[in-house]
């Protein structure tokens, strides 16, 4: 008996590793979820993402709380909403007290790495092992060539311990310079209804689609590297598209095309292949899910999310009742705070300063080479006077009412505001009350949060608002 006990103790690290899944998270950058074919996209060619979806579970209703690179990553890695973790603006920092995947999965025996784009701070709160191989600069032109050796070495370095690796790609973030835009002739593109149909928009949208296809190729290479490591069957793969693209009405908004994200989960033999779910999940739910799958206790930390493992394994059809969102426009333009809530079918949006114009600096900004950052925007403004649809989408973007209500399940681009329709008054009332409840729980003061003073404090690791 004593010898058996000694043997079990000696084998315990290996037994634990066998029971715990490896985790591979692949993130795109600024990719509107319904530009992907798996969500109804009519243009982009994504054979590797399509294949991944056929091998796992696709979430129809996955969301992030803020459609900006830094806040959404802080939410994903910490399991906390922007107001709680402190990163509620782009180019700000989380609270120094925040902990993330390395501190939570490390004690459970995991090696926790990050390859590619980082864009979270401070380092103390996000002490990932940095893995080489993919570009960390999302605005480099062209993107630095990637090398799979780093992630391959990380996956195979020590098979007695499970790994959690995030590969954060930088496509299709602007500038759209990677891939082959000749695959997407402007005349053949089917533009979504929330964009103005101008020649320059079509040309730039084709370049964006080419970057989606380039990103899809990277996804295929990363998955092939996992297969080569011999650990694909023991690995939970999560693919997510991050927030929407930089086209007006997507990134930096609370519309569905901003904060609705793609999410695919594959775990051979554990997650049924080729299925979809309408369960509502949010980035804040990912870390608690991983901790539970790793055998940890997520009640030991403060999370805004909860584990959706039951959805992964087909045990539950539902997860959360609501997903929440916010937007603080500084430093991307003048203050323009927005809040939202969705139940997956309906979306309610509150614009806290509706008398102001919404202005986002990147649309009219100048690149380092002197070129316009997004030259298609000028064509929207120029053609608004004689094209009703162009006028509608330009006005929709720049001037917004105090409240908006959309039946997103039937109106996925949220073009018809139903807030004044008495038929939906009860839905508006219910969602409005839920948003009030969430803001109060998060210590969210509303409009006073979106100020230069609050943003500057957050950059320095100090926070004027939000729960601790």
For every residue of 279-329, DSSP letters joined together read EEEEGGGHHHHHHHHTT--GGGS--S----HHHHTTS-S--BS-EEEEE--
CA pair distance 196, 107, nearest whole angstrom: 51
CB 451 within 8 A of CB 335: yes
* Beta strands 163-168 and 111-116, pairing class: parallel
CB 349 within 8 A of CB 339: yes
* Beta strands 260-266 and 57-63, pairing class: antiparallel
For 197, residues 6+ apart whose C-beta sits below 8 A from its C-beta are 191, 387, 389, 390
CA pair distance 231, 160, nearest whole angstrom: 12
Tens of pLDDT, residue by residue, the chain (468 residues): 444 433 333 444 433 444 899 999 999 999 999 999 999 999 999 999 999 999 999 999 999 999 999 999 999 999 999 999 999 999 999 999 999 999 999 999 999 999 999 999 999 999 999 999 999 999 999 999 999 999 999 999 998 999 999 999 999 999 999 999 999 999 999 999 999 999 999 999 999 999 999 999 999 999 999 999 999 999 999 999 999 999 999 999 999 999 999 999 999 999 999 999 999 999 999 999 999 999 999 888 899 999 999 999 999 999 999 999 999 999 999 999 999 999 999 999 999 999 999 999 888 665 555 555 788 999 999 999 999 999 999 999 999 999 999 999 999 999 999 999 999 999 999 999 999 999 999 999 999 999 999 999 999 989 999 997
Domain 19-324, what architecture?
A: 3-Layer(aba) Sandwich (3.40)
Give the residue among 337, 195, 188 at the shortest CA–CA distance from 254.
337
CATH 3.40.720.10 domain locations along the chain: 19-324
Cα angle value 103/104/107 (rounded, 5°): 80
Please give the pLDDT value at position 17.
41
Please give the pLDDT value at position 316.
97
- Cβ-in-10-Å burial (0-12, 13-18, 19+) of 366 comes to exposed
């Amino acid at each position: 008996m004593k010898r058996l006990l000694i043997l079990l103790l000696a084998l315990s690290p290996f037994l634990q590793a066998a029971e715990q899944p490896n985790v591979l998270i692949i993130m795109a950058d600024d990719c509107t979820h319904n530009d992907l074919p798996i969500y109804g996209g009519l243009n982009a060619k994504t054979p590797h993402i399509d294949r991944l979806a056929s091998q796992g579970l696709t979430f129809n209703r996955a969301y992030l709380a803020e459609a900006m690179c830094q806040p959404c990553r802080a939410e994903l890695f910490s399991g906390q909403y922007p107001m709680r973790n402190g990163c509620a603006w782009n180019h700000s920092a989380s609270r120094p007290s925040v902990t993330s995947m390395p501190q939570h999965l490390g004690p459970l025996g995991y090696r926790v790495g990050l390859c590619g784009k980082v864009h979270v701070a401070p380092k103390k709160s996000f002490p990932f092992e940095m893995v080489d191989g993919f570009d960390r600069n999302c605005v480099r032109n062209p993107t630095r060539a990637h090398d799979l050796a780093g992630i391959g070495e990380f996956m195979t370095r020590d098979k007695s311990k499970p790994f959690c690796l995030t590969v954060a790609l930088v496509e299709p973030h602007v500038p759209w310079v990677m891939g082959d835009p000749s695959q997407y002739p402007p005349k053949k593109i089917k533009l979504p209804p929330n964009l103005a149909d101008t020649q320059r928009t079509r040309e730039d949208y084709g370049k964006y689609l080419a970057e989606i296809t380039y990103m899809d190729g990277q996804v295929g290479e990363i998955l092939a590297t996992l297969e080569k490591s011999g650990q694909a069957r023991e690995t939970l793969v999560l693919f997510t598209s991050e927030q929407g693209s930089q086209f007006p009405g997507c990134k930096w908004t609370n519309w569905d095309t901003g904060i609705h994200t793609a999410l695919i989960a594959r775990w051979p033999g554990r997650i049924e292949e080729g299925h979809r779910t309408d369960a509502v999940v949010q980035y804040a739910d990912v870390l608690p899910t991983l901790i539970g799958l790793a055998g940890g206790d997520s009640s030991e930390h403060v999370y805004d999310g909860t584990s959706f493992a039951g959805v992964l394994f087909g045990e539950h059809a539902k997860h959360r009742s609501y997903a929440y969102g916010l937007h603080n426009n500084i430093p991307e333009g003048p203050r323009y705070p927005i809040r939202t809530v969705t139940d997956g079918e309906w979306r309610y949006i509150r614009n806290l300063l509706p008398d102001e114009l919404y202005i986002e600096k990147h649309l009219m900004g100048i690149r380092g080479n002197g070129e316009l950052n997004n030259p298609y925007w000028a064509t929207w403004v120029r053609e608004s006077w004689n094209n009703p649809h162009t006028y509608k989408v330009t006005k929709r973007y720049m001037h917004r009412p105090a409240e908006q209500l959309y039946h997103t399940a039937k109106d996925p681009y949220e073009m018809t505001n139903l807030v004044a329709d008495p038929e939906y008054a009860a839905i508006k009332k219910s969602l409005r009350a839920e948003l009030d409840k969430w803001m109060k729980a998060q210590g969210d003061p509303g409009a006073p949060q979106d100020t230069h003073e609050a943003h500057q404090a957050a950059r320095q690791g100090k926070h004027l608002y939000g729960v601790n």
